[in-house]
Every structure is written in structure tokens, then in C-alpha cells.
Amino acid sequence: MREFFNIFKILIAVDVGIIVFCFLEHNLLWLYNSQIAFFSTSLIILGSFIGYAGMVRRNLENGNVGEDVLKKYEDPYNLDDEEEVEIKKIKKEKLKWYEAVLLNFKGGMNIIRILGYVFLVAGFLYLAKTNRFDTLSFLFGVTIVPAVTFIYLLFYKKKLSKLD
């Protein structure tokens, strides 16, 4: 969680730098496009983080630590090891494949993430309708969050490998 806040601080600093640059250059087109894209992408990433963190927390509370979730659904009775279980009993009690998908799907869907996608589409449509859409600045705003996160995690990984 601490690393998430470190990334968030860096993202805020980069965004403030972009805002200052746009004002110094008197380029409101870049400001509008980059800020709409940056804000919506930030909401999507934040929603994903919160959703998956909740999923991991629920799995830890349920005791699903270190076990292969798919193996539990593919072979719940360990038929590869023992063949004593009757076929009829297996057919009645076998879990559906979509139950495993639903367990992981709930972690990915979050209201913040959905709002981020809505804001991204609405912002794009607003910019396009008012003839303020600039492809380069919009793509730049979309790539800020993933690029900063990727670079931070690369440095963090090197830092951890030096400690070992």
C-alpha cells in the first residue's frame, strides 16, 4: 500500500508539471486533452487497484492462500490420484466453470473503475464534439499513468534486488 501512495505522489508531481508547462506555453488544447485523459486513466487504475486488493484480501480471509484456484475447479476430488469416487456423484456436485470466473471478475469490477471508463468516453466525446480533440495530447495523457507506474516499479524492483 505504501508503494501505491509513492506512485500516487509521483503522478501528482508529473501532472502539476504538465499543467505548469501547458500554462507557460499558453496551450489550453494540450491542457484539456491531457487532463481529461490523465484523470480518467487515474480513476481506472485506482479502481483496478482497489478491486484487486479487495479480492486478495477476501481470498486471504477465506484461506485461499497459495493454492491453485483453477486446480480446485478442474479436479476437485483429486481423480488423478484416487479413482474411488463414483462418476454420478461427481456429475451432481461438480462446480460450474463460470463460478471460478465470477470469483475473479468481482475483483476487477469496481465503481471507481467504471466511472473512469465513463469519464474517458464522455471526455473524448466532449472534446471531439467541441473540436478540441488533439490525438497526440490525448494519447500522452492516457500513457502518463502506466508509464510512470512501470518506470517506478522497475526502479523499485532494482532496489529490492540490491537489498537481497
Model confidence over 108-140: pLDDT tens digits? 678 898 999 999 999 999 999 999 999 999 999
Say whether pTM exceeds 0.75.
no
- From 56, 74, 78, select the one nearest 66 (Cα to Cα): 56
Give the model's pLDDT for residue 36: 96
What is the spatial distance between Cα 136 and Cα 4, in angstroms, rounded to a whole number?
Answer: 28
Burial of 111 (0-12, 13-18, 19+ CB in 10 A): exposed
Q: Could you read off the pLDDT of 58-86 as tens digits, one per residue? A: 777 766 665 555 555 555 555 555 454 45
Residues 6+ apart with CB under 8 A from 39: 119, 123
* Alpha carbon distance 11, 132 (integer Å): 24
Chain-wide mean pLDDT for the chain?
Answer: 80
- Please report the pLDDT score of residue 61 as a whole number: 75
Residue 142 has pLDDT above 90, yes or no: yes
**Would you list the DSSP string of 84-146?**
-S-HHHHHHHPPPHHHHHHHHHHHH--HHHHHHHHHHHHHHHHHHHTT---HHHHHHHHHHHH
pLDDT on residue 23:
94
> What b/e sequence results for 21-52 when a residue is b if at least 16 CB atoms lie within 10 Å of its CB, and e otherwise?
ebeeeeeeebbbbbbbbbbbbbbbbbbbbbbe
- 33 or 81, greater pLDDT: 33
Q: Which tops the pLDDT comparison, 19 or 93?
A: 19
Report pLDDT for 88.
45
Whether the pLDDT of residue 31 is over 60: the answer is yes
Judged against a pLDDT cut of 60, whether residue 25 lies above it is answered with yes
